[in-house]
Chain A
Amino acid sequence: MIEFRLPDLGEGLTEAEILDWRVSVGDVVGVDQIVVEVETAKAAVEVPIPFAGTVARLHGEPRSVIAVGQPLISVTTPDEAAGSGNVLVGYGPGAAPSRRRRVARALHPAPPAGESPGVPRVLSPLVRRLAATHAIDIRALKPTGPGDVILRRDVEAAIAEGADDFERIPLQGLRRAIADKLSRSRREIPDATTWVDVDATALVQLKNDLAESCPEAGIGFLALLARICVAGLRRYPELNARVDLDRAEIVRFPHVHLGYAAQTDRGLVVPVIHDAHRLTLADLAGQLRARTEEARQGKLSPRHLTGGTFTLNNYGVFGVDGSTPIINHPEAALLGVGRIIDRPWAVDGEIRLRKITQLSLTFDHRVCDGAAAGGFLRYVADRVERPQTLIAHL
């Protein structure tokens, strides 16, 4: 609180009579504001207050006399109101700005690169340790940070690359999807493979005959195999199924949606021919041609990529005989066919060169036992060796 005392208003004044207050208690007053009119021996004088504040007390009623030097009016200053108090030696604590004023950052010039002798500069001790833990030699790293500072990402990249020189191909996209499906198949399906060598001479002869008599049908080896598989699945429906673990059921399909492996530029694709059991051999051949062309162009529709109940894989085109095929999950069986080559074979008690191929059947052993699987394979093998038997159940 500051007391303003009655100043000497001039000429040796000793006292003055208060005539009229111009402010009241509680008023806010400013510097040099007239607060009171007093009467001296000579005249009525208006008195200004030399500081600002809020009026706390008026030291006298109108008509009372105040001596020079006595308190006239008391005010509390804004300083006190804010709680800063009078400071003996200075302006007092100001209100420092507490939010950011500057918008622009003061940037430092980027130092010239390539001039850093001594210990290689690394972003932080943590990053340096990261490198050491992974046996990365930081001297061998190319720093990407300003001032040749090795950044965390530089070290992480080096770790990712590894210290070896293996070619690394990312497992992603279609390749990733196929890998996942194959892994799942092996993981979930307790599969067993059984195989048999067959004399396909008759089938090859049939193909040639058909090519001559019905060239427009375009019936190839794969189409014939497909037709035989369909017949086999009618005879052994156990293999046209899948296992539903959620419901603990084996689901047998009334239809055959036949998938077959097709190798494209983008990888292995399995087009599906829906309702293959309804198609004639010529139809099958036509479908095979169409789907294969679509596959090559990457234009297979989703419908023709899904829903298969059995898969046929002619890997003989690779020049191999047998395999342990991987079931096309969630199907229950896959028939693989190897190359057809001349081999010595027993014919009517003599060794003749015949067209021999190996058939490999992999099956989900949960859907059937060896008898059914073997039965199916034998059935197919018999049709391959004596295709004329197909006509009995045409």
Chain B
Amino acid sequence: MTTVDTTTMAQALNAAMLDAMDADERVVVFGEDVGALGGVFRVTDGLAAKFGDDRCFDTPLAEAGIVGFAVGMAIGGFRPVVEMQFDAFAYPAFEQIASHVAKLRNRTRGQLALPLVIRIPYAGGIGGVEHHSDSSEAYYAHTPGLKVVTPATVADAYSLLREAIDDPDPVVFLEPKRLYWTKSTVQLPVRTEPFGRAVVRRPGTDVTLVAYGPSLPVALDAAAAAVEDGWSVEVVDLRTIVPFDDDTVVASVRRTGRCVVVSEAAGFAGVGAEIAARVQERCFHSLHAPVLRVAGFDIPYPPPMLEHHHLPSVDRILDAFDRLQRDDQPDTRFLALGSAK
């Protein structure tokens, strides 16, 4: 069904599942509260009513159970699209994800493929109490065998979820929960760029700002604010962490000569660190300045009243731009490191 409408990201995800279920009766949606309630964020709203209890259903409260059950159903010919209610509540399922979802194709030399999708609302910025704002993407990105996808726009939410459901490989589909209510006028159904393709959301000439998921809005805000300081910022939206689009990112950094990666997850050993290492290695000879990261602190996610100190802000990104060695000014942050105390 084609509609042109002002749609929220949650509605676009809902439409993607509806269209996918329409197109293929093997697609089933299950998890906690996805049935009658329609999901705590209303992303599965109306699916149970339209397709019945066999296609969209609630499960007992057990995340390992949900994922393990999905593995079995996928082997049995279904295409499960399961929901973990929140990022931190997916952890009980991690063994199933790491040991089985990620490895089954490999262990069986392709005999048992798992075309399943694990949808997880993630990241913060919603004023949520603890365990509701985790950025857990690094755990999945670091587990070979999982595709890790994270839309940042309404159109991508629809398109990437459709593609995830069609993909023969398991996909961890990370939905930036703070963007659930962002609106856009889109014509659905829509197909945007496929997996493995990052997109330049804002062209620029001086610095490449790489972002994904919940950080795209703050990256765009920072790019707009930086005009005042004389920076022309190019913003790249990764869209899929695995598979990673080296080409687009590298082409951009080779043009600009400078790169800042923004990610709200704790910086140490985060996805931002992988991106920075890849850029440094591939673009070394084009770099005017070190590749920088603007990330969350290495602390457990703070209580709601303090989260804004932790999350990458426009100010913090602009401060990173100040370190990009314009006008032959070296970045001095770490020069004193290692000298006599």
Listed in ascending order, the chain A residues whose CB lies under 8 Å from chain B are 83-85, 87-94, 96-102, 105-106, 108-112, 115-116, 121, 123-126, 129, 145-147, 149, 151-153
B69 CB to closest chain A CB (Å) equals: 24
Q: How far is the CA of A106 from the CA of B333 in the complex (A)?
A: 10
Chain B residues near A147: list those with CB within 8 A. 330, 332, 335-336
B315 within 8 A of A: yes
Q: Once the chains bind, are B225 and A91 in contact (CB under 8 Å)?
A: no
Minimum C-beta distance from A232 to chain B (A): 62
Is B138 part of the contact surface with A, judged by Cβ < 8 Å? no
- The reply to whether A91 and B335 contact each other, CB–CB distance below 8 Å, is no
Q: How far is the CB of B263 from chain A (nearest CB, A)?
A: 16
Residue from the list A94, A97, A106 in contact with B127, Cβ < 8 A: A94
| Contact indicator B125/A93 (Cβ below 8 Å) | yes
1/0 per position for B305-341, CB-CB distance to A under 8 A?
0001001011100110010010010101101100110
Do the beta carbons of A96 and B126 come within 8 Å of each other? no
Interface size of B in residues (CB-CB distance below 8 Å): 48
Tell me, yes or no, whether B224 is within 8 Å of chain A by CB: yes
How many CB-defined contacts (below 8 Å) exist between A and B? 119
Q: Does B182 contact A (CB under 8 A)?
A: yes
**B180 engages A146 (CB within 8 Å):** no
Q: Tell yes or no: B185 within 8 A of A by CB.
A: no
- A156 → chain B, closest Cβ, in Å? 10
| Residue pair B127, A87 in contact (C-beta under 8 Å) | yes
Classify the secondary structure of B's interface with A: loop
Q: Give the nearest-CB partner of A148 in chain B.
A: B335
Known A83-B183, A100-B318, A124-B325; contact A93-B335, beta-carbon cutoff 8 A = no
Measured CB to CB, the nearest residue on chain B to A123 is B330
Chain B residue nearest in CB terms to A118 = B338
Q: How far is the CA of A98 from the CA of B40 in the complex (A)?
A: 29
Residues of B within 8 Å of A111, CB to CB, are 332, 335-336, 339
Where the two chains meet, the residues of B that have a C-beta atom closer than 8 Å to any C-beta of A are 8, 10, 40-42, 86, 125-129, 132-133, 178, 180-183, 218, 221, 224-225, 228, 257, 284-289, 304, 308, 311, 313-315, 318-319, 322, 325, 328, 330, 332-333, 335-336, 339-340
B127 contacts A92, C-beta separation under 8 Å: yes
Cα A112 to Cα B339 with chains together (Å)? 8
Other A-B contacts than A93-B126, A96-B125, 10 sampled, CB-CB below 8 A, are A88-B41, A89-B126, A90-B129, A97-B314, A98-B218, A100-B314, A106-B319, A108-B336, A121-B335, A124-B287
Give the top 3 A-B pairs by smallest Cβ distance, nearest first: A91-B127, A147-B335, A90-B128
The distance in angstroms between the C-alpha atoms of A99 and B228, with both chains bound, is 10
Taking a contact as CB atoms closer than 8 A, the residue among B221, B287, B319, B340 that contacts A115 in the complex is B340
A-B contact pairs, 24 of them (CB 8 A): A83-B183, A85-B8, A85-B10, A85-B41, A88-B40, A89-B132, A90-B127, A90-B129, A90-B304, A91-B127, A92-B127, A93-B127, A94-B127, A96-B313, A97-B314, A98-B224, A102-B315, A111-B335, A112-B336, A123-B330, A125-B284, A126-B285, A147-B336, A151-B328
Q: Is the CB of B183 within 8 A of A125?
A: no
Q: Is the pair A152, B328 in contact by a Cβ cutoff of 8 Å?
A: yes
Residues of chain A within 8 A of B319, CB atoms compared: 102, 105-106
Q: Which of A100, A110, A129, A152 contacts B225 (CB 8 A)?
A: A100
Q: Which residues of A contact B125 (CB under 8 A)?
A: 93-94, 96
When the two chains form their complex, are residues A99 and B225 in contact, meaning their CB atoms are under 8 A apart?
A: yes
